[in-house]
Structure 1
Amino acid sequence: MHAPAGAGHDAREHGQHGHDAHGSGRHDHAPSGAHAAGGHDGHEHGHGGHHHHGPGGHSHVPAEIRHERPLWWALGLTATVLAAEAVGAWLTNSLALLSDAAHMATDTLALGIALVAVRLARRPPDARRTYGYARFEALGALANGGLLFVLAGYILWEAWQRFRAPLPVASLGMLGVACVGLACNLAAMKLLHAGAGQSLNLKGAYLEVWSDMLGSLAVILAAGIIHFTGWTWVDPLLAVLIGLWVLPRTWILVREALNVLMEGVPNGVDLQALRRDLEAQAGVAGVHDLHVWALASRTPALSAHVVVGEDADADAVRRALAGMIAERHGIAHVTLQMEAGGGEPCHGCGHA
């Protein structure tokens, strides 16, 4: 496994950097929209490395920050619905409301994590956390998923008990709470719509609120059926359906969080294709100690040892590789250690 995040691979740290492990390594940040145009190629950072920034512009503020206020409003609305449905489930004896409240709980926590992540992202890396606080997102998602598994298990067990011994449900109260939830979800959708097309994080929040809206509609439908037919079994049935809908999404959330924390290869990165592209680059004689991991769900990073031919310009090869990796594979944080061909390969240079 690659060295843990914060172990000294980030070229942004300007002080002591553990270069005994890296030798002649260079740190290339390929072009991205987060950096200003011009004048940044080959910044000297006091350790012989180069920190490359392509065109873009420092004025490009991340969409999450520009749309932070709508996120706060959406969090307030979803938390209100969560509280209303939890109290309503207790007062009306509706398991469907409780199941939807569990769904709302995970979305409320997800919005809270997104907001905290936005705040923490503004904090610069320090001597102890050279990558900053990017992995807070994965830790929060893992805790969220574990809690939801417990809630879903309880709801499925309670639904089974109610199928065996149905309980009366206050359908009108259930209907009223679900209508409040629907109104809040529609308002939250409107607040998040503007930023949904500008940020994956905001798009994810928008889709979560959209799914909450569908859950509220389902509870309204179930309340109407119970009120006009007296079929109380509809309530536990809907609770089971919501639980079965949420559980696969929860597993995906937990799996992705574990992959980040275990420094697995990020989703969407083809390691074999990446290795072929590296080895096919002009001037490259070989590649070893190739590692790809993620600082957070959408922040992949790469490190590798590259053996260059005797007549090749190592700096030119490194710059070409960094640009190719960013363009073809979407990895902007790249650490490449260049090794001269014909020499002894660098084994045990700080890589697992």
Structure 2
Amino acid sequence: MASHHHDHGHSPGHSYGHAHDQRQAHDQRQGHDQRQGHDHGHGHGHSHAPTSFGRAFAIGIALNIAFVIGEGGVGLWSGSVALLADAGHNLSDVLGLAVAWGGATLARAAPTKRFTYGLKGSTILAALFNALLLLVALGAIVLAAVQRFSDPPTVAGLTISMVAAVGIAVNGLTAWLFARGSKGDINVRGAYLHMLSDALVSAGVVIAGLVIWKTGIGWIDPVVSLVIVALIFGQTWGLLRETVEMALAAVPRGIDYDGVEHALTTLPGVERIHDLHIWPMSTTEPVLTAHLVVPQGHPGDAFLSTAREMLHDRFGIGHATLQLERGDECDGC
């Protein structure tokens, strides 16, 4: 994104048709190439998973698919709803890893005249789809668990613990694959935290299996499955809320709107700011457009570069379009 006129049409729900004076248009045309190159440096590689994590995604997905098949099979054989619930959770991990990997791949797709931002927004749609699908699966698990209360099956507690222990190893290893990138990349951090939390859930299943093995109390199994569902529901509901917000072009979580407004207002020569919009281009890349009133006229390319670097470094906004105005005539546009 560069600070020139035609880019403003991208701001959702707002039409920009302002007329600029000849001096501003001339100054912006002079610096167009320089600013365009600068913006591209911020816009790529800032948020989505680096190519080097493709192998980690592939290994993590393969491990979890193998474990889901094994755990689901043992769950059906032993009649353990807790194992089936945990297998469903691990299946969601496969979908989550696939979405993160697919989003990282699609984020590198080149923009076209039809899709001027590329296909970055598909990560929001995929996350929303996965959240809704997972809620349906959780409902099915709850129904099966409730039915088991009236007729608790005889389950092999030791078998449950052994299978869930394998889950701890699988999820722990997958989390380790993403540990080195968890601090610098939001997609990788999400995968890391998800897999780490799943290892803790599997630990809970191990404990339940050992209790069943020692006491023979079968109803502990559906209780544990309901606890697992509650834990997954909390994560899923948060994911659903955030993806719906993203689909509605809300200000991304973690970005302080007032802080951004104040930071832009305190830039040298800026008298006030209006029409500030911040929304997500994808699940990891926010976009900003704003009108800055600069009575002294266009302050030059260095001002724009400094402003964009500030937005990138302080707020993680790698795509910023700034429209400069000299007076009051555009305030109500």
- The verdict on a shared fold, with TM-score over 0.5 as the criterion, is yes
Q: Which amino acid aligns with 1:345?
A: C
Deviation at 1:87?
A: 2.1
Q: Which moved more, 1:134-143 or 1:277-286?
A: 277-286
- Equivalent in 285, 309, 321 of residue 335 of structure 1: 321
- Equivalent in 150, 154, 158 of residue 144 of structure 2: 158
| Partner residue, 1:44 | 33
Distance 1:297 1:54, change over 3 A: closer
Deviation at 1:296?
A: 1.7
| Contact 2:47-2:285 at 8 Å conserved across structures | no
Deviation at 1:316?
A: 5.0
| Partner residue, 1:83 | 69
| Contact 2:49-2:104 at 8 Å conserved across structures | no
Spell out, residue by residue over 1:71-95, the C-alpha distance to the aligned partner (whole angstroms, 9 max, x if none): 1001100111122222222221111
- 1:184-333 correspondence to structure 2 within 5 Å: 184-310=170-296, 313=299, 315=301, 317-333=303-319
Spell out, residue by residue over 1:187-241, the C-alpha distance to the aligned partner (whole angstroms, 9 max, x if none): 3234333443443322221222222222222222222222221111110111111
Deviation at 1:160?
A: 2.5
Aligned partners of 1:206, 1:16: CA distance in 2, in Å?
36
Spell out, residue by residue over 1:277-298, the C-alpha distance to the aligned partner (whole angstroms, 9 max, x if none): 3223221232211111111232
Aligned partners of 2:38, 2:221: CA distance in 1, in Å?
58
| Contact 2:81-2:221 at 8 Å conserved across structures | yes
| Contact 1:22-1:337 at 8 Å conserved across structures | no
Q: Count residues in correspondence.
A: 319
Secondary structure of residue in 1 paired with 2:324:
strand
| Partner residue, 2:98 | 112
* Gap runs ≥5 in structure 1: 1-9, 27-40
Q: Which moved more, 1:179-188 or 1:329-338?
A: 179-188
Answer 1 or 2: which has greater helix percent: 2
Aligned partners of 1:76, 1:167: CA distance in 2, in Å?
32
| Partner residue, 1:38 | none
Secondary structure of residue in 2 paired with 1:288:
strand
| Contact 2:8-2:289 at 8 Å conserved across structures | no
Does residue 101 (structure 1) correspond to residue 59 (structure 2)? The answer is no
| Contact 1:96-1:235 at 8 Å conserved across structures | yes
| Contact 1:314-1:338 at 8 Å conserved across structures | no
Aligned partners of 1:347, 1:69: CA distance in 2, in Å?
52
Aligned partners of 1:246, 1:180: CA distance in 2, in Å?
19
Secondary structure of residue in 2 paired with 1:331:
coil
TM-score (norm 1): 0.79
Aligned partners of 1:292, 1:301: CA distance in 2, in Å?
6
Q: Which amino acid aligns with 1:185?
A: N
Deviation at 1:16?
A: 9.8
| Contact 2:60-2:174 at 8 Å conserved across structures | yes
* Gap runs ≥5 in structure 2: 11-15
Q: Which amino acid aligns with 1:163?
A: F
Distance 1:234 1:284, change over 3 A: same
Does residue 345 (structure 1) correspond to residue 314 (structure 2)? The answer is no
Secondary structure of residue in 1 paired with 2:50:
helix
Does residue 69 (structure 1) correspond to residue 55 (structure 2)? The answer is yes
Spell out, residue by residue over 1:253-304, the C-alpha distance to the aligned partner (whole angstroms, 9 max, x if none): 1111112111101112222232223223221232211111111232111101
Aligned partners of 1:63, 1:154: CA distance in 2, in Å?
33
Aligned partners of 1:320, 1:16: CA distance in 2, in Å?
19
Deviation at 1:147?
A: 1.4
Q: CA RMSD of the aligned region, Å?
A: 3.3
Does residue 180 (structure 1) correspond to residue 166 (structure 2)? The answer is yes
